[in-house]
Amino acid sequence: MTFTNAGTVLLIEDDEIMLKVIERILLKEGYQVLVARNGKEAMQRLEQGGFNLVITDLMMPYANGFEVISKVKSSDKSKGIPVIVISSVGNEDSIMEGFRLGADDFLKKPIMAGELMIRVKRLISTSKS
């Protein structure tokens, strides 16, 4: 596979099947994917930097998606980086809390590959310009 410099995505998801599905979609479209399988790994990856977009689940062990969003948006290193929340939690309070903390988009599980890619491409192109 030839690598096009589409960007690097930090994918934070504790469900192994969902993680593999999203990772495969992103890789197929030419993105590099950094993976974190829980909130603790996510916080370590956020410190390292080197990504153009964060995709995070909300409900995870060690630190939840709300904490991840707060960390991304409050760090000088990453505050301009867009965040997409992907969650099976579809209640309005959770969605609104995510947006209040700075999430740029929200997708409800199960996700559709085409919809995910439209949103990823839009947010990465906006953040690069």
pLDDT tens readout for residues 37-47: 999 999 999 99
* The two structure tokens encoding residue 40: 């603790």
d(CA 36, CA 84): 15
d(CA 10, CA 31): 10
Q: What is the pTM of this model?
A: 0.92
Distances (CA, A) of 79 to 3, 5, 20, 33, 127: 26, 22, 27, 19, 11
Q: What is the pLDDT of residue 1?
A: 40
Looking at domain 8-128, its CATH architecture is: 3-Layer(aba) Sandwich (3.40)
Q: What is the pLDDT of residue 97?
A: 94
Q: What is the pLDDT of residue 126?
A: 81
Q: What is the pLDDT of residue 74?
A: 94
Q: What is the pLDDT of residue 128?
A: 66
Q: What is the pLDDT of residue 5?
A: 67
Phi, psi angle pair for 25, to nearest 5°: -60, -45
Q: What is the pLDDT of residue 2?
A: 43
Phi, psi angle pair for 125, to nearest 5°: -65, -35
Where the chain has pLDDT below 50, the residues are 1-3
